[in-house]
Structure 1
Amino acid sequence: MANEIGQVQGEQSAFELTEEAKAAVQERILKQVAAELQLAPGKVRTTVGLLDEGNTIPFIARYRKEMTGELDENELRAIEERLNYLRNLEDRKLEVLRLIHEQGKLTDELRQSIEQSAKLQEVEDLYRPYRQKRKTRASVAKERGLEPLADWIMAQHRKGDLQAEAAKYVKPDKEVATAQDAIQGAMDIIAENIADDAKIRTWIRRYTHDNGQLETLAKDDKQESVYEMYYDYKEPVRKLPPHRILAINRGEREEVLKVSLTVAPDKIHDFIGRQILRGDSPVRETLAATIEDSYKRLIAPSIEREVRGALTEKGEEQAIQIFAENLRNLLLQPPIKGKVVLGVDPAYRTGCKLAVVDDTGKMLKIAVTYPTPPNNKIAEAKAVIKQMIDAYGVELIVIGNGTASRETEQFIAELIREVNHKGLQYIIVSEAGASVYSASKLAQTEFPDLDVAERSAISIARRMQDPLAELVKIDPKSIGVGQYQHDVSQKRLEESLGAVVESAVNHVGVDLNTASPSLLSYVAGVNGTIAKNIVAYREENGKFTDRKQLLKVPRLGAKAYEQCVGFLRIPGGGNPLDNTPIHPESYTVVDKLFKELRVELAALGSSDLKDRLDSLGPAELAANLGVGVPTLRDILDSLQRPGRDPREELPPPIFRTDVLKIEDLTAGMELQGTVRNVIDFGAFVDIGVKNDGLVHISQLSDSYVKHPTNVVSVGDTVTVWVLGVDLNKGRVSLTMKKPRA
């Protein structure tokens, strides 16, 4: 930006870049993003151009591979994030330069320092001395005319008498009654100037991070809490793991812990002294005292807030990343198709709500039974459920994992033994967010005649049939597959999780004729209004038979059509390609390909066509068809497996027919389980007992594990062995290390 800001004309347009200067800044940003992410500048430049044209990440990742060099979604999102940060940084630099210029204090040296800043923190440090402050001791001293005395002290003359110089500023009418009052005021001004010095703040911030310790104490060490390990705790700031940062923050917020950041001040005083003190002078001791005051009163509290803020940001980013990864794996769990499902929302006093849904998710029957305490109407409940099983051919019972879930599981296991229904099984699923959905306007619209709990039972049943379609109806923050999700920046969390849901939905694709507005709203290029318009058009005109009909949907213009159409499927439509991920812009390529192969489109899905497509070499064929190799590779894959759901390639969940009690567990017992949650220090695995067992990070593998997500994912089926059982606390410790014989 050096010389770039200089390319302005007139006072009115000062600090507004010319088009040429804007282009230079843009080019510099592109090069910086490419260098930081270690990507080819050409790929970054093309990606930024596509983003600036309004293209979505899923669309670019899937349908613009030749242009980006096959960058994946993660790389594209990283480019977008850094691009936004650096553009905001440049905007802030211009704003700060303008504000300082208006004060008449912008020097060439300061301008250069601001222009060369690589981080927002650096810009704010440089702007700090010029920012409008609330009333401070220094501002009061300046009002009393003591700034010249502060300048005299900072000049550090070899000769002179401080008391005599200070006496010149004694003004009883301005509350400077004595020479000492004048000296104190001057010291306050110097202390604030030291505290505002960008170089000093940068060094102290880094030194505090590298050498400081976070210390925690209990406000009441007799109080029992989950924070007892932090009642008298110390750890170097630089070594604090993200989950511990957030745990300490929560303990402090709940007023259980007192938290402080400590660092030995001697080296800090020495560093500031080297920047301020110059040889022997009559004011050396005064300045040394001012340095200590500046650090203790102004710098240390401010730097502590900044360092702890940076720690919190680090903890939040890790928590959000874990939540996002867990959520994606949960959303992409394989759907259980072709089964009639009985959903059970368990409870004690209010009874278990039951909902039978057919293999399409349509609600068939609703009921309430009371098999759990305090009612214990077991025989009556069995009769109701047996009748539902027989009447509707129920093949799978899905139980929510909330209150009374394990008592309900025991009851269902007994019922399955009595029914002796071939193939009847049960599974326990997380019901996190089910109550949120049940009380939502969406649920009220979908089931206006049902109460909240009955809607919840339907949601629980549908979670097994199509996890993605059902879970997108719920605020991602309520799904509960992370750590400390309520302690992080909710705006940042919402952005991250929204991107994850969008990615998952577009990865799988959406049936245009059955998708809910909630599901459609996550399709690339489709917002909430367009999603509702699609459903309204479908209800008014009947099922879509051709993707081109989307252009008739109100407010769905050409750009939105381009972005979304490849992710929307029409099974059984007029054109078989409409049920594939192939974009309509590539239909002509398919026509050329089929002419070369001398086959009709009707052959799509046949084993003969699959074999012929499998034998083709994309590299040789692409040139003849006038298409890029990556796009042709995707087209061939889609033609070989039309209508494919990528989730179906994953292993199915574990279904059960009998219950396992914690009392049944013994050390060394081998079990199959499902990973329910992955966190920084391990993974929680459902092995069929009341509480999920914990596999600590040290027990995930025989080799070193940097993070649990490198080994396991939510939804994984894993083999575990019991390490230990705490019956009093209901805790089970597990290992994934196979015991030696």
Structure 2
Amino acid sequence: MANDTGREAVKTVPETAGEDQQVQERIRKQIASELNLPQAKVKTTVTLLDEGNTIPFIARYRKEMTGELDENELRSIEERLQYLRSLEDRKKEVLRLIDEQGKLTADLKASIEKAGKLQEVEDLYRPYRQKRKTRASVAKERGLEPLAGWILSQPRRGSVLEEAAKYVNAAKEVPTAEDAVQGAMDILAESIADDPKVRAWVRRHTQDHGIVVTAAKNKEQESVYEMYYEYSEPVKRLPPHRTLAINRGEREDVLKVNLDVPADKIHEFIARQYIRGDSAAKETLQAVIADAYKRLIAPAVEREVRGLLTEQAEEHAIRIFAENLRNLLLQPPVKGKVALGVDPAYRTGCKLAVVDETGKLLEIAVTYPTPPNNKVAEAKAKFRQLIDKYRVELIVIGNGTASRETEQFVADLLKELGRPELQYIIVSEAGASVYSASKLAQGEFPDLDVAERSAISIARRMQDPLAELVKIDPKSIGVGQYQHDVTQKRLEESLGAVVESAVNHVGVDLNTASPSLLGYVAGVNGTIAKNIVAYREENGKFTDRKQLLKVPRLGAKAYEQCVGFLRISGGKNPLDGTPIHPESYGVVDSLFQELRLEREQLGTAQLKARLQEQQPEELAPQLGVGVPTLRDILDSLQRPGRDPREELPPPIFRTDVLKLEDLAPGMELHGTVRNVIDFGAFVDIGIKNDGLVHISQLSDRYVKHPMDVVSVGDTVTVWVLGVDEKKGRVSLTMKKP
């Protein structure tokens, strides 16, 4: 799962050596202005990135240098830096290409250098771009450029046809004056279509006044796109999820999609740029303008505007997916419980996997309590045997096929057993089958089949969601919206950054972490992760963070980036079990000396009380350290071994089944938010399908987006609004009746 690029002291942005310092300064100023950040903070961040530092490392251990910019701000700087540097590279390329044609003027050069977007640069380059054969290029080959120039000069006297007669030439395939006029018009139409000012204005006008119109290709056909069979909405008001739905309907050949823009105002604007009062060529130029817009500008601008709508919709969908994924990954672990994972099925039976408190596999089994086998008594006996033998405290059921029948079976069994400490929970098994069939799973459990591996994954994802879910392609985890309709490369980059952020936020146990988990630690790539595990297997547990330097391919820079995020419990140095970076161990020694404390007191109430009394602002100058760093050190020393996920509310465990038929409007329930999308949130209330809280039912106040109110993993109180038994749907509200 880990990505081998970009993590081992690799430059995250292009090097600046030899580049124009003024350009780099301009880029930094532009980023500072766009993101509303101080220039000094941006400059320092850019320097740190260029030195090969990772975002998690900068965010955690370089707070004084960046003025405590958070990860989101740092990633925004990195993204804009990459875009603007790529933009500068494109500008240089375009200037070179135009200059080689001998057509680069001072004004054109200034316009290209001033451009702030790639689209502006491409608009300016368009007239000089080498084109394939067009009607205009054919007309030029036939010698009709002078006639086009005459028409554009708009003479007061004369006749277009009379002037065109001079260009009639059978040898050059211009048999009539009308043919000559048409060729000249084609040349002028292409020139107008290539005018950067015209294209920019038409693009803005289309965005402001265009209407997206959709229609069914076959109205008789039933589909999920029926609401779009006769539909229209202004471009500027089209929400992201509708853009992606319309795109998919068009791609599946169900919908026809057009952009409707009244042409009159566009014709008027272009005419103001090109027509000067009355002339012999006025009517011809008006026809040229109409042709240029309809044939050349409108189709291109429609593609560009729809492309921009799609790009914005994709960024929005990726952002929603990323936020949901982060919240899912940071769900609190259920520690210290032996778990029985159940991968439900009908014909092939329920696969069972017992794992101990650390996730180690103890036993695999299969039972057939569901149709068509219905071997309920036999299944109960097997469950009882496993529960008694391993003192199972939690049964974890995947929410796939046959999950509710399996849940009913487990609930009935719990009643018979009469053990109040034994509970069950339904978990999303999204991605479990993807993991089970992966090379990673085959490497972990070569002797097991796919479903058996899946049962292990289901049990483990309750014990430590982060450690288990990092083994799965983030796209398969099931908390997205239209994730298959967005640019996959951009999605992978964004989700990879989210997983990296979550892993480093929590920290990783160096002696138990899998290569999948280690591969997301700052500064560690897939190869180094495997080398760490290989070193551990060969030499035994790590007892000191410095041992990392003996791992092949893990150099000084990678060590600097990763070491603070890797923890050792019960090692030689108690500080190795904290998020404190070894570069600050000297500060801790000075602090303990100042306060007359010993490292061995770490974790004691006495030390915690003493540290709580300290004022970082007063103490930092004495210790020669920045206030933010000292604040983090004090916090880490007070709570060594702290897992930030444990501060979140635990998941909801159940002992009995709730059926759709049990629900009635007004009933109060407690549930877990499973997914948050643009129009609401899906909540697991313990029935087969998650209930939907529409955005209008999330709060008594106005809600701009559901994420402003709820997040994946939240435990919420809801009330039943309505039940559709036929479709198996439940509508919920979070507004107390």
Shorter-chain TM band:
over 0.9
Task: Tell me which amino acid in the other structure corresponds to 1:339.
Answer: K
Q: Give, in angstroms, the shift of residue 222 of structure 1.
A: 1.7
Tell me: higher relative CO, structure 1 or 2? Use CA pairs within 8 A at least 6 residues apart: 2
The counterpart of 2:625, out of the listed 602, 617, 627, is 627
Residue 530 of structure 2 is aligned with which of 532, 535, 542? 532
* Alignment match, 2:235: 237
- 2:345 aligns to what SS in structure 1? coil
2:452 matched residue in structure 1: 454
TM-score by length of 2: 0.97
| Partner residue in 1 for 2:715 | 717
2:206 aligned partner = 208
Quick check: 1:340 aligned with 2:344? no
Q: Which digits, 9 at most, give the CA deviation of each residue in 1:653-678, with x for residues without a partner?
A: 00000010111110000000000000
Q: 1:221-248: CA deviations, max 9, x gaps?
A: 1211111111111111100111111111
Cα distance in 1, alignment partners of residues 552 and 639 from structure 2: 32
Alignment of 1:170-569 (within 5 A): 170-569=168-567
Q: Which amino acid aligns with 1:587?
A: Y
Letter in 1 for 2:209: N
Q: What letter corresponds to residue 376 of structure 1 in structure 2? A: N
Q: Does 1:708 align with 2:723?
A: no
Alignment partners' CA distance in 1, 2:598 and 2:236: 65
Q: Which residue of 2 aligns with 1:91?
A: 89
Deviation at 1:683, TM superposition (A): 0.3
Cα deviation 1:134-153 (Å, max 9, x = unaligned): 21111111121211211111
* Residue of structure 2 in register with 1:138 after alignment: 136
**Which of the numbers 613, 616, 627 marks the counterpart of 1:615?**
613
TM-score for the superposition, normalised by structure 1: 0.97
Structure-to-structure mapping, 1:649-688, within 5 angstroms: 649-688=647-686
Offset of 1:166 from its aligned partner?
1.1
Aligned equivalent of 1:42: 40
Letter of the structure 1 residue corresponding to residue 651 of structure 2: P
- Secondary structure of 1:208's counterpart equals helix
Q: 2: CA distance between counterparts of 1:725 and 1:118?
A: 53
Instruction: Note the alpha carbon deviations across 1:627-681, whole angstroms, 9 max, x for none.
Output: 0000000000000010110000100000000010111110000000000000011
Q: Which residue of 1 aligns with 2:80?
A: 82
Equivalent in 690, 695, 698 of residue 697 of structure 1: 695
Q: Which amino acid aligns with 2:308?
A: A
CA apart distance, 1:185: 0.9
Residue identity opposite 1:544 in structure 2: F
CA-atom RMSD in angstroms? 1.1
CA distance in 2: counterparts of 1:220 and 1:417, whole angstroms:
54
Deviation at 1:596, TM superposition (A): 1.3
Structure 2: gaps (5+ residues):
1-14
Alpha-carbon offset, residue 20 of structure 1: 8.3
**Amino acid of the residue matched to residue 80 of structure 2?**
R
In 1, the alpha carbon distance for the partners of 2:420 and 2:103 equals 85
The unaligned stretches of length 5 or more in structure 1 are 1-16
Residue in 2 that maps onto 1:573: 571
Question: Which string of whole-angstrom CA distances, capped at 9 and with x for unpartnered residues, describes residues 355-395 of structure 1?
Answer: 00000000011011111111111111111111111111111
CA distance in 2, matches of 1:562, 1:78: 23
Aligned to 1:58: 56
Moved more, 171-180 or 685-694: 171-180
1:4 match: none
CA positional deviation for 1:455: 0.3
Q: Distance in 1 between matches of 2:454 and 2:448?
A: 10
Q: Distance in 1 between matches of 2:132 and 2:343?
A: 56
Alignment of 1:587-598 (within 5 A): 587-598=585-596
Q: CA deviation at 1:422?
A: 2.9
* Structure 1 CA distance for aligned equivalents of residues 470 and 106 of structure 2: 54
- After superposition, the Cα gap between the structure-2 partners of 1:625 and 1:515, relative to the gap in structure 1 and judged at 3 Å, is same
- CA deviation after TM superposition for structure 1 residue 421, in Å: 2.0
* In 2: Cα distance, 1:349 partner to 1:128 partner: 62
Aligned residue type for 1:600: E
3-state secondary structure, aligned to 2:20: helix
Q: Distance in 1 between matches of 2:393 and 2:181?
A: 87
In the alignment, which residue of structure 1 is the partner of 2:7? Answer: none
| CA deviation profile, 1:676-718 (whole Å, cap 9, x unmatched) | 0000110000001111000010100000111110100000000
Amino acid corresponding to residue 326 of structure 1 in structure 2: N
Shift of 1:32: 0.9
Percent of counterpart pairs with the same letter? 80
1:166-211: CA deviations, max 9, x gaps?
A: 1222121222111111111111111111111110000000101110
Question: CA–CA distance in 2 between the matches of 1:189 and 1:330?
Answer: 58
Supply the distance in 2 between the matched residues of 1:694 and 1:268 (Cα, whole angstroms).
45
Give the structure 2 partner of residue 8 of structure 1.
none
Q: Could you tell me which residue of structure 2 aligns to residue 645 of structure 1? A: 643
The aligned residue for residue 127 of structure 2 is 129
**Deviation string for 1:528-556 (max 9, x for gaps)?**
01001000110111100000000000010
Partner of 1:69: 67
- 3-state SS of the aligned residue for 1:397? strand
Deviates more, 1:278-287 or 1:264-273: 278-287
Task: Give the count of matched residue pairs.
Answer: 723
What is the one-letter code of the residue matched to 1:621?
L
Task: Tell me the CA shift for residue 616 of structure 1.
Answer: 0.6
Q: What is the aligned partner in structure 2 of residue 9 from structure 1? A: none
For residues 246 and 79 of structure 1, what CA distance do their matches in structure 2 show?
Answer: 28
